[in-house]
Amino acid sequence: MRENQLQAITHPIFEIVAEAANELKFSTYVIGGYVRDHLLQRGKSKDIDFVAIGNGIDLAKKVASKIKGKPEVTIFKNYGTAMIKHNDLELEFVGARKESYQKNSRNPIIENGTLEDDQNRRDFTINALAISLNKKDYGALLDPFDGITDIKKRLLKTPLEPSITYSDDPLRMMRAIRFATQLNFEIASESLKAISENKERIKIISLERIVDEIHKILIAKKPSKGFALMQRTGLLPYVFPELKALQGIEEIEGQRHKDNFWHTLEVVDNIAQTTDNLWLRWAALLHDIGKAPTKKFHKKIGWTFHAHEFVGSKMVYKLFKRLKMPLNDKMKFVQRMVMLSSRPIILSESHVTDSAVRRLVFDAGDDVDDLMTLCEADITTKNPKKQRRYLNNFKLVRQKIKEVEERDRIRNFQPPVSGEIIMKAFGLKPSREIGIIKEAIKEAILEGDIPNDYGEAYTFMVKKGEELGLTLKSN
């Protein structure tokens, strides 16, 4: 199928590539995501892939020589690809190739091939679309698998037999789920069946590549679609056993608990409506993972998940480590959100005291606003009256936080009397008494017994020191 797509290639870079390809006598095409996104009217992508019937690296070098400023060409010799970063564009060049796979590796045996070979190796029909940059048919759309129809139907299909496609490169299973989530497409039934049949093959994929797909699912408009598909196809236990463990409802003596897996997906969708912060979305995804290992049934009170926030925060570290994600400040942020995730909920259900708010602000620090956003997303009740009440209560908590902040300056505060001042005042060397006094001052401020003020804190220090049998040294 050939249609003209000249409107897709109006940027001057396409003329430069076409000219370079003509000089090298390489038939050259724009292929993949750029073409797909143009047809979906998602806006002009900044990542553009070019496939040449010839040497992609040579084409990249020729293109770079024709661009003002002659940008650097980054060469990936093992893959036979090259990349040029030009202004806000990222251009990737590859020679057309055909691939064959061995059972226990997703690294293909690569041979030079035709455009048809290259389109055959693509993961989905919508990614096999190509636009010609050749003089004889400049702007022609080449669509051997009727990808345009699949775009219109919003359907993900593989160019070749899906079981072969997924078995050859199991990462394509995660990519299918990611594209379905990102683009709000459906996965063809034969493809879904093939993913289920090949799910164990995901074990040969590096965790880094899997996490990259999870990130893209999480930043979609409705992330739940991706995780629901992982559950439906059986991939979830291989990627997120902690989430899989949340699924299901138990009933004992007529008492049931909610399905915490589906609840979690609702929370993730809720938070996706209010923030693009990837790590806050991670916190929403993991906020209840401690409920599976802490679930217990008690005859008098029913189901409990005692200390699930504490257990969950510990599990965050283990999960990040297992997935080979950085154990840095982002991980600590997610941990903190999980650890504190129930605190504002408890406050919203009872009379909000100043001391409780001060402690929340002290513990959450600069993340208190994110914590409130997470807790508001955690409201998944289908009862409109209850939902309004919970949201109004959270508004009251937010207002109280603002008032306490303005008055007491608690966020990230350090007790106004330092250990050095205590040592000097009582003539002490480093000792446990200093820690006791510092902690007492902090507690007094958080409880509202004294204001967050140096003079008041110093007076309190003297009194506490006397209680411990210490004598104030004269200046």
What phi, psi does 427 have (nearest 5°)? 65, 40
Sorting pLDDT into bands at 50, 70 and 90, what band is 101?
low
CATH number of 154-239: 1.10.110.30
pLDDT at 109: 62
Residues in the chain: 475
pLDDT above 60: residue 392: yes
d(CA 296, CA 289): 15
Give the residue among 364, 369, 458, 358 at the shortest CA–CA distance from 408: 358
Q: What is the pLDDT of residues 241-296, one digit of tens each?
A: 999 999 988 877 767 778 899 999 999 999 999 999 999 999 999 999 999 999 98
Q: What is the pLDDT of residues 126-171, one digit of tens each?
A: 999 999 999 999 999 999 999 999 999 999 999 999 999 998 899 9
Looking up tokens 């880094």 gives: 208
pLDDT, mean over the chain: 90
On whether the 2-150 domain is CATH 3.30.460.10, my answer is: yes
Strand partners, 406: none
- 211 within 8 A of 323, measured Cβ to Cβ: yes
Q: What's this model's pTM, rounded to 2 decimal places?
A: 0.85
User: Residue 38: is it exposed, middle or buried by C-beta count within 10 angstroms (0-12/13-18/19+)?
Assistant: buried
- Of 34-38, 65-69, 126-130, 377-381, give the lowest mean pLDDT range: 377-381
Q: Where are the beta strands (DSSP E) in 226-330?
A: 251-252, 255-256, 296-298, 302-304
Rounded to an integer, the average pLDDT of 209-224 is 97
18-28 burial string, b = 16+ CB within 10 Å, else e?
bebbeebebbb
Helix axis angle for 329-340 and 308-322, nearest 10°, is 160
Q: How far is CA 149 from CA 3, 35, 52, 88, 316, in A?
A: 13, 14, 26, 31, 43
Give the residue among 328, 271, 461, 101 at the shortest CA–CA distance from 320: 328
DSSP symbols for 372-386: HHHHHHT---S-HHH
pLDDT at 1: 45
Strand partners, 6: none
Domain pair 2-150 / 154-239, same fold: no
Q: How far is CA 199 from CA 172, 177, 184, 236, in A?
A: 11, 12, 22, 9
Q: Which residues contact 191 (CB under 8 A, 6 or more apart)?
A: 156, 157, 158, 162, 166, 176
What residue ranges do the domains of the chain occupy? 2-150, 154-239, 419-467
